[in-house]
């Protein structure tokens, strides 16, 4: 009987410790929506992002790959660097009246900083500030996020208010110039824990583009996903269809001039 009690206690302690390790190794269960958690001092992660976008009036496919190195600096602060590679293929009309495919490749570098103000478990809500700067061969970006989240029972709720300033170079009337866009986005994610390893998620993104102070494009995306975590590894995936276009729809129910019908994203992370 004593041996049985000791064995049961051992199993209970091991289960609790394993769950804590899993939670510490994973600072997010969503793919589009950020959470307020940060890595501990000296903790490092490699995150691999893959986003596949498709669905426009003409042929369209885009694959975005981001390789992120993330490190905790302590005092609720973490930073990371990204190498971003994007390949986009479009169907276009050529001068002879036929159609052809054009493929464009982009490469850029990003630096992210994240500071946690409040903890989603110890405090009424979790709050974090996020900033990212991106520099590429054709564009420059500056992004800021306000992150708010809360964990209660088996649920995790997170929301992000996002503002982005983007400058992209192009040719207008044989003149090379920089065009400026402002983007505002609201992301909301809700996760339910099926077990210490598995969570089912739903995410929603309300996206807007402003040019010269005017709202030019607006659309809503909503999708579902899954999250799986173990000791030093986690993977999140989400399918995000566009469900409604509000601006720039050109008579359709969706905005397919700025956005696409479907996005699929997979995040894979390794802690070390």
Q: What are the tens digits of pLDDT across the range 79-129?
A: 999 999 999 999 887 766 678 899 999 999 999 999 999 999 899 999 999
Q: Mean pLDDT across the stretch 219-231?
A: 96
pLDDT band at 33 (very low <50, low <70, confident <90, very high): very high
Tell me which of 47 and 171 has the higher pLDDT: 47
Q: Mean pLDDT across the stretch 6-15?
A: 40
| β-strand pairing of 77-93 with 99-118 | antiparallel
- CB contact at 8 A, 222 and 247: no
- CB contact at 8 A, 168 and 138: yes
Helix (H) or strand (E) holding 73: strand 60-74
Q: What is the pLDDT of residue 91?
A: 86
If you ran DSSP here, which 8-state letter would residue 261 be given?
S
Residue 140 has pLDDT above 50, yes or no: yes
Residue 13 has pLDDT above 50, yes or no: no
| β-strand pairing of 44-54 with 99-118 | unpaired
Residue 157 has pLDDT above 60, yes or no: yes
C-alpha neighbours within 13 Å on the C-beta side of residue 73: 11
Spatial separation of the C-alpha atoms in residues 10 and 131, rounded to whole Å = 43
Q: How far apart are the first and last CA of the chain?
A: 40
- Tokens coding 185: 């986005």
Tell me which of 9 and 253 has the higher pLDDT: 253
CB atoms within 10 A of CB 269: 21
**Mean pLDDT estimate for the chain:** 89
- For the purposes of burial, counting CB atoms within 10 Å of the CB of 267, is it exposed (0-12), middle (13-18) or buried (19 or more)? buried
- CB contact at 8 A, 245 and 257: no
User: Please, where are the H alpha helices in 182-247?
Assistant: none
């Amino acid at each position: 009987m004593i041996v049985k009690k000791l064995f049961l206690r051992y199993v209970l302690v091991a289960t609790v410790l394993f769950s804590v390790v899993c939670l510490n190794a994973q600072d997010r269960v969503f793919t589009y929506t950020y959470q307020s958690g940060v890595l501990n001092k000296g903790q490092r992660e490699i995150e691999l992002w893959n986003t596949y976008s498709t669905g426009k009036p003409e042929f369209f496919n885009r694959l975005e790959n981001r390789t992120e190195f993330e490190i905790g600096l302590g005092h609720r602060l973490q930073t990371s660097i990204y190498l971003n590679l994007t390949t986009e293929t479009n169907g276009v009309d050529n001068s002879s009246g036929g159609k052809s495919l054009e493929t464009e490749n982009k490469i850029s570098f990003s630096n992210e900083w994240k500071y946690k103000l409040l903890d989603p478990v110890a405090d009424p809500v979790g709050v974090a500030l996020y900033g990212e700067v991106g520099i590429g061969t054709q564009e420059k970006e500056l992004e800021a996020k306000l992150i708010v989240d809360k964990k209660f029972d088996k649920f995790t709720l997170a929301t992000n208010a996002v503002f982005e300033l983007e400058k992209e170079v192009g040719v207008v009337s044989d003149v090379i110039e920089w065009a400026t866009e402002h983007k505002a986005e609201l992301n909301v994610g809700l996760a339910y824990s099926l077990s210490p390893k598995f969570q089912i998620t739903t995410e929603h993104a309300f996206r807007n583009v402003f040019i010269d102070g005017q709202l030019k494009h607006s659309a809503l995306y909503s999708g579902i996903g899954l999250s799986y975590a173990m000791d030093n590894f986690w993977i999140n995936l989400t399918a995000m269809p566009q469900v409604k276009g509000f601006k720039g729809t050109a008579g359709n129910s969706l905005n397919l001039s700025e956005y696409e019908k479907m996005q699929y994203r997979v995040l894979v992370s390794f802690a070390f």
